[in-house]
Structure 1
Amino acid sequence: MTEKAVAEMTFEEAMAALEAVVTALEKGDVPLEDSIRLYERGSALKAHCAQKLKDAEDKVELIRAAEGRATAAVPAEGL
């Protein structure tokens, strides 16, 4: 079975795959070359998830702006 390309994954698929990578690496019983491959995939998955979240935040901000509501996220510390 081949791994699905990271760019084709939904956020949920990428998070599940990232969790699997972390679990495999934490076990510590993966050969070095496989560990490197897993680390690279994990890095790509993390970046993909971060971009998906950023895209979602941007969409919410566009909706809020279209409704005439204040835009830009406020950090929880600032509340």
Structure 2
Amino acid sequence: MPDTPVSEMSFEQAMKELEQVVGRLERGDVALDESITLYERGAELKKRCEAKLKEAEEKVAAITLDSEGQPTGTRPVSDD
């Protein structure tokens, strides 16, 4: 597994590695200690993917459209 810090990964990188982690865990051909390490890495990757998806959703939600449906810019996203 790559040693790239999860906090520096793009969504695509994190998702690809998460798929690899899940595949290895599903095969069950790793020792218990390695399984635990893989599970912990997978949990971090999942959290990173969720955070990146939320960022993207907020950016999309912030796009405003004019009366003809054309993007006119962005508006601040409120917390409510």
Bigger share in strand: 2
- Asked if 1:6 is matched to 2:3, the reply is no
Match of 2:46 in 1: 46
Instruction: Output the TM-score relative to the length of structure 2.
Output: 0.77
Q: Return the structure number with greater relative CO, CA threshold 8 A, min gap 6.
A: 1
Correspondence list, 1:1-79, <5 A: 3-64=3-64, 67=72
Computed over aligned residues only, the root mean square deviation of the Cα atoms, in angstroms, reads 2.0
Match of 2:78 in 1: none
Bigger share in helix: 1
Larger radius of gyration: 2
**Number of residue pairs matched?**
68
Instruction: Output the TM-score relative to the length of structure 1.
Output: 0.78
Distance of aligned partners of 1:27 and 1:5 in 2 relative to their CA distance in 1, 3 Å threshold: same
TM-fit CA distance, 1:34:
0.4
Moved over 6 A (4+): none
Identity of aligned residues (%): 54
TM-fit CA distance, 1:64:
2.9
